[in-house]
Amino acid sequence: MYAIELVEPSLTAFRRTILPDPQAGPGKVLVRLRAATLNFIDVAIATNTFPGARFPLIPVADGAGEVVALGAGVEGIAPGDRVVPHFMPDWHSGPMTQRLIAAMRGISLPGSLSEYVAVPAASVVALPAHLDYVQGAALPIAATTAWNAVRSSSAPAASACSPCSSPRRAAPPSFSLPRPTTNWSVDARSVPTI
């Protein structure tokens, strides 16, 4: 399959590559990705301001596509279903513990800049019929941020917003937000296409 790899932490280090097609192992589905959307976390990975990335990696956390194969034991999903894989496939509900959020697409797991991705079946959400793939790809991190803000017992109600969208909210101690200095009108054109 074709993919885009980020070979080092730099906005100029994207490379088109060919990788073996992933397989839908037990409990997993194989998704043919149709769209990917950029979020602040993707820029943070590419500029080495978010911890935990090991290069090279397939970047971009959020995507959407269609199921093309099922692994053993998968029920309730069928080939052809339009889905959105969750950014953190091991976290389904409840508190975000380190164990449940250690695996993150586009950081420690393959992200959305590839033709295919194998993900746990429990981590995909049906894409609503009224949304296209691009609209669906924009949902995962935004939905997770909103859910965490509402559920967080440590955040005052007035600060229920994403650190990615509000420069006034303090970032977690291990993560510092860089100043937005990227000239996207130039830099985005230099990213290769699949």
Q: Are 36 and 137 in contact (CB under 8 A)?
A: yes
In whole angstroms, what is the distance from residue 99 CA to residue 59 CA? 21
Against a cut of 0.75, is the pTM above it?
Answer: yes
Could you read off the pLDDT tens digit of each residue along the chain, which spans 194 residues?
999 999 999 999 999 999 999 999 999 999 999 999 998 899 999 999 998 899 999 999 999 999 999 999 999 999 999 999 998 888 887 777 888 888 999 999 999 999 999 999 999 999 999 999 999 999 887 777 777 777 765 555 444 444 444 333 333 333 333 444 444 444 444 555 66
Phi-psi region of 80 (alpha: psi -120 to 50; beta: other; left: phi over 0): left
Fold of 2-188: Quinone Oxidoreductase; Chain A, domain 1 (3.90.180)
CA terminus-to-terminus distance, the chain: 9
Domain residue ranges in the chain: 2-188
